[in-house]
Chain A
Amino acid sequence: MLEIRNLHAKVGNTEILRGIDLTVHAGEVHAVMGPNGSGKSTLAHVLAGRESYEVTAGEVIYEGKDLLKMPPEERAREGVFLAFQYPVEIPGVSTTYFLKAGVNAIRKHRGLEELDAIDFLAMVKEKMKLVEMDQALINRPLNEGFSGGEKKRNEIFQMGVLDPKLAILDETDSGLDIDALKIVANGVNAFRSPARAMLVITHYQRLLNYIIPDYVHVIFDGRIVKSGGKALALELEEKGYDWLKAEVEVAQPTIA
């Protein structure tokens, strides 16, 4: 479904991704872990099409197509979804209003009929159960005054409504208490299917107790330095990132 080859990206003059290689098949859940500043979130944003990151080398093939050539909205319509670490607050636009515009843009792209208000609301009601969203919440201006947990639930709720093939969750667990974390994880698990793939980006192993990954990758300094099964996450939890840093530095000694 997704093939990332030698991906390099920079912001301004700072190179952040320095050769990412990653292959994700339908049905798989990949966890991407790493310390702060390692490039996890940059990877997520580059995949979603954020223009402030400049891709300097490499390619990303999604469903046989060149993902990097597509503007963000086309990626969304092709089935790529990013759950933001910091969802934006937009006063004056309700979640339902904006989401209906998104759903119909995506449906149109896929050759489906646009949903009318009644069908849309019926679908929304169904998806709200996914993360125990409150009706009042989605009628309010998008994320305005939402708690951290409400914002994250709203992201997963949107994922449910937009029905992507590839979901990228960028630190969806950050700032959540254990109850909120369980709700979010339940939502994500309900969404797993053989037709879908997920990239779960997280700093902590905690989330992976609830969302069990098929593969775990560790990003460090803009590269994937270690890949393994779910046991790798536990190892990281136990030992921290420092032992990996040491290992990487031994493997690739920096010239002083």
Chain B
Amino acid sequence: MVVTSSKELDTYLSDFELFEKNGATKGPSWIHQIRKAAISRFSELGFPTTRLEEWKYTNVAPIAKTRFKRAECEVNGLMAEALARATLGESACAQLVFVNGHFSRELSSLRSLPEGVKAGSLAAAWGSDPASIEPHLARHASYHDHAFVALNTAFMKDGAFVYVPKGKVVELPIHLLFFSTAPVGLAHERPGTAVVSYPRNLIVADDGSQAMIVESYVGVGTNVYLTNTVTEIVGGKNAVIDYYKLQRESEEAFHIATVQAHLDRSSNFSSHSIDLGGALVRNDLNATLDGEGIECTLDGLYMVTGRQHVDNHTRIDHVKPHCSSRELYKGLLDGKSRGVFNGKIYVHKAAQKTDAKQTNKNLLLSEGATINTKPQLEIYADDVKCTHGSTIGQLDQDAVFYLRSRGLDLATARNLLTYAFASEMVGRIKVEPVRAQIENLLVTRLHNGSRAEDTP
């Protein structure tokens, strides 16, 4: 069902022509063939509307209506401070920094990257090392049924490429840091200044390897912009991948992300998805368990307020037998924010002995906050163990009273309980500096939030 007006689509089609004219065709032709197929698919799909089941609660009309300009690499004055706050410093073995989707060699550091491990610009790699890229790129994240993946694929220009060779254990995390430095000022006062970036990442962990990947999205400035990002993750046999996605876009930002993991036999994939920023956020996280004995853990925490909207769609495909998946997403919603959780577990016919558990828990901190939560099981095998459940609640009044009876004021008691709710997810973060960062953000957010509540 295409209801996007042709004018909106034309903007993207003509932008694609411009993109080609300005050098996109100069790269490897196989890359450009993929782009052309993707833009053609996008023109058929158009932007999704709320009439589509998968987009029922998330209206992307504000994105469709905004005229975005592809972002230049603009390093603004606020970058240095933002970088200092977001960096994992010495705790990361490599830090790749992207500014509006453009790789910044100066800001990046590959200091202690172990031998044989590749980390760098995807665009550089598809030129110099196509054999590592071609078998994977755009093979997993399908642009055939997702308009934003199609757009990302059509306009892909750069992003991160990480390759961990067979049997290699990378002890320290690899940090991929994406800054959006939209110019300061309101977009509707200066039409045409909203920018878009299309980061495209490929992470390949070969058989028996192990790696921690941290993806951070940080907004610098206050303007409207769109980050439309796609990450493909490929886990070989026995590979262990610990993946973090930390989203702290600016409060006016749109953030649309797809993460597609494709996992082979006996691999172990755990994902931690943290959403704190953005005005309109949609995450699609899909994992295909395409081998026996895979363990997959999806953790998520979203904490929104004001008029923020955050939508987490996850899908786990149990393709082969004897895999287990554990999913726990927790949401904290304040103000007039809205959360959406849609977790699908798809058990294919061959996937006997699947063991899947999915939970979504939400805490509504205000009258105006809403959550739409929908667990979905589709099971085509007959010998499986699958459970799902979701909860929506307010703070436990017994607990609030208990804390107050020990001298804590109402706001402190509420904050402490809110913190306690979220801390389970924070505690599961294994990368220490990431955990500290999130914990700080959480505490700061709670502290600021309590001021408004002090005055009844």
Knowing A51-B401, A101-B416, the reply to whether A76 touches B421 (Cβ < 8 A) is no
* A98 CB to nearest chain B CB (Å): 6
Chain B: how many interface residues by the 8 Å CB criterion? Answer: 25
Residues on B with C-beta less than 8 A from A98 are: 403, 406, 408, 416
Residue in B402, B422, B423, B424 with the greatest tally of chain A CB atoms within 10 Å? B402
What's the nearest-Cβ distance from chain A to residue B27, in Å?
49
Binary B-proximity of A88-116 (CB < 8 A = 1, otherwise 0): 10111100001101110110010000000
A50 at the interface (CB under 8 A from B): yes
| Residues of chain B from 405 to 456 with CB closer than 8 A to chain A in the complex | 405-410, 412-413, 416-417, 419-424, 427
Q: Which residue of A lies closest to B423 (CB)?
A: A92
Within B379-419, the residues touching A (CB, 8 Å) are 396-399, 401-410, 412-413, 416-417, 419
Interface size on A, residues (CB 8 A): 31
CB distance from A124 to the nearest CB of B (A): 14
B-side interface mostly: helix
A105 touches B407 (CB 8 A): yes
Contact B406 A76 (CB under 8 A): yes
User: What separation, in Å, do the CA atoms of A72 and B403 have in the docked complex?
Assistant: 9
Chain B residues whose CB sits within 8 angstroms of the CB of A90 once the complex forms: 399, 402-403, 416-417, 420
Give the distance in Å from the alpha carbon of A82 to the alpha carbon of B404 in the complex. Answer: 11
CB of A41 within 8 A of chain B? no
Q: Is B406's CB under 8 angstroms from A162's CB?
A: yes
Chain A residue nearest in CB terms to B398: A88
Do B399 and A88 touch (CB < 8 A)?
yes
| Contact call B419/A92, Cβ cutoff below 8 A | yes
- Chain B residues near A158 (CB, 8 Å)? 406
B420–A102 CB distance below 8 A: no
Q: Which residue of A lies closest to B399 (CB)?
A: A88
Contacts of A75 in B (CB 8 A): 405
Contact B416 A88 (CB under 8 A): no
Interface residue? A73 (CB, 8 A): yes
A87 in the interface, Cβ–Cβ < 8 Å?
A: yes
Q: Taking the nearest CB of chain A, how far is it from the CB of B7, in angstroms?
A: 51
CB-CB nearest in chain A for B424: A92
CB neighbours of B424 from chain A (8 A): 91-92
CB closest residue in chain A, given B404:
A72
| B401 and A50 contact, CB distance less than 8 A | yes
Whether the pair A71, B405 counts as a contact (CB closer than 8 A) is: no
Contact of B404 among A52, A71, A162 (CB under 8 A): A71
**Is A88 within 8 A of B402, CB to CB?**
yes
The answer to whether B397 touches A52 (Cβ under 8 A) is yes
CA distance A109 to B406 in the complex (A): 13
Contacts of A51 in B (CB 8 A): 401
Cβ contacts A to B, 24 pairs, < 8 Å: A51-B401, A71-B404, A72-B404, A72-B405, A73-B405, A76-B404, A77-B407, A81-B405, A82-B405, A84-B405, A88-B402, A90-B399, A91-B420, A92-B420, A92-B422, A92-B423, A93-B417, A93-B420, A103-B407, A105-B407, A105-B409, A105-B412, A106-B407, A162-B407
Seen from chain B, the residues whose Cβ lies within 8 Å of a Cβ on chain A are: 396-399, 401-410, 412-413, 416-417, 419-424, 427
The 6 closest A-B pairs by CB, nearest first: A92-B420, A102-B406, A72-B404, A76-B407, A92-B423, A105-B407
